[in-house]
Amino acid sequence: MKRKIAVLPGDGIGKEVAGGAVEILEAVAERFEHEFTFEYGQIGGAAIDATGQPLPDETIELCKSSDAILLGAVGGPKWDSQPTHLRPERGLLKIRKDLNLYANLRPISYFSSLSEASPLKQEIIEDVDFIIVRELTGGLYFGKPSERTIFEGKEAVVDTLFYQKEEMRRIIELSFEIASQRQKKVTSVDKANVLESSRLWRETAEEVAKNYPDVTLEHMLVDNAAMQLIRNPRQFDVVVTENMFGDILSDEASVLTGSLGMLSSASISVDGPSLFEPIHGSAPDIAGKNVANPLATILSAAYMLRLSFGMEKEAEAVEKAVHSVLDSGFRTIDIAGNNTESLSTEEMIAEVKAALLNEVAI
């Protein structure tokens, strides 16, 4: 099968890990006789340096003409003092909005061979398997006005939390669809004791739930959810929440798996190609050192094979390769613990590739 993939490496470790996922996709193409073509586009700080814009029009055109998009990460201290519209993160927000990427799926599952890597007790993290469904194109990230202002003659600021009910309904509905294929439980996370937006969210969830009689809906306030995530994470199946709550809770949830460097994500579009990226950022503290964990991005590529291309056995082959590499004891520094020797990013990519190609012989 022929497929065109837009690759947007971005900044910092984004470049290191995106290259790894491309190598793995090339190995998939070789093993399963597909034809994948990769076309590179700029986003984030790299795009600002090259074009003056965090998301040039050519990148959007490239994405729209592709079957799927692979993204590394954006951002870094070099651009932190830029005016808001020229920050790398604006490129990421714009691509989400321009491509209608309304739903960000962030699966969290236990890697048995990594139980030592998490600071949490094995009995807490064992067999954890849930998914965070994060609304991605609304809420505080996009509401207007969002600006510095003067209030009663003094310096002030406003950010706006705006949602249309329809934006809530479609993401909540997706979470019920996903739950129908899983353990049939949706936990809707909000702050309905304080926010009007959360009260509409809760009402909408109740309305959607009526159409899914075999799925249980539970509401949870976000502060409690943050605590429950590390107290008893096995209670969750599908967690659905608005944009910013989902951002924060998913970084927290990554600790259950051992590292932020393990968490993949898929951003689903209403009407066009989907985008796949690790949930982590550009990690300026380790960028350029060849030590970043590439597995989150490699698992995001597996997600692409499954969701965008319907290539289930190919996706499973990549996931199996990742598991076998971890089971063999190979570790990057973030999952190595104290005493284990660690591999570089490139060495880890090579191990996954070898495992993937060796599966043929088995």
Residues contributing to the site for ligand NAD (CB under 6 A): 13, 17, 73-76, 89, 92, 260-261, 277, 280-286, 292-293, 296, 334
Q: What are phi and psi of 346, to 5 degrees?
A: -65, -40
Cβ of residue 139: shortest distance to ligand NAD, in angstroms? Answer: 16
Q: Residue 106 pairs with which residues in a beta bridge?
A: 132
Name the one range near ligand IPM by CB under 6 A: 37-45, 88-96, 301-309, 310-318. 88-96
Residue 247 binds ligand IPM, judged by CB under 6 A? yes
Annotated binding site for Mg(2+): 223, 247, 251
Neighbouring CB atoms inside 10 A of 98's CB total 16
Cβ of residue 289: shortest distance to ligand IPM, in angstroms? Answer: 21
Cβ of residue 199: shortest distance to ligand NAD, in angstroms? Answer: 29
Strand ranges inside 202-288, DSSP E: 216-221, 238-241, 266-268, 274-276
- Taking residues 219 to 248 in sequence order and writing x for each that binds Mn ion by CB under 5 A, - otherwise, the string is ----------------------------x-
Q: Do the beta carbons of residue 278 and residue 263 sit within 8 Å?
A: yes
Annotated binding site for substrate: 96, 106, 134, 223
Number of Cα atoms under 13 Å in the Cβ half of residue 210:
6
What distance in Å separates the CA atoms of residue 27 and residue 276, rounded to the nearest whole number?
18
Number of shown-chain residues binding Mn ion (CB under 5 A): 1
Q: How far is CA 327 from CA 115, 318, 322, in A?
A: 11, 14, 9
Total residues found in the chain within this entry: 362
- Helix, strand, coil shares, percent, the chain, to 5: 50, 20, 30
Catalytic sites, residue numbers: 141, 191, 223, 247, 251
Return the structure tokens found at 352. Answer: 């996954």
Cβ of residue 250: shortest distance to Mn ion, in angstroms? Answer: 7
Residue 89 binds ligand IPM, judged by CB under 6 A? yes
282 binds, among ligand NAD, Mn ion, ligand IPM, none (CB under 5 to 8 A by kind): ligand NAD
16 binds, among Mn ion, ligand NAD, ligand IPM, none (CB under 5 to 8 A by kind): none
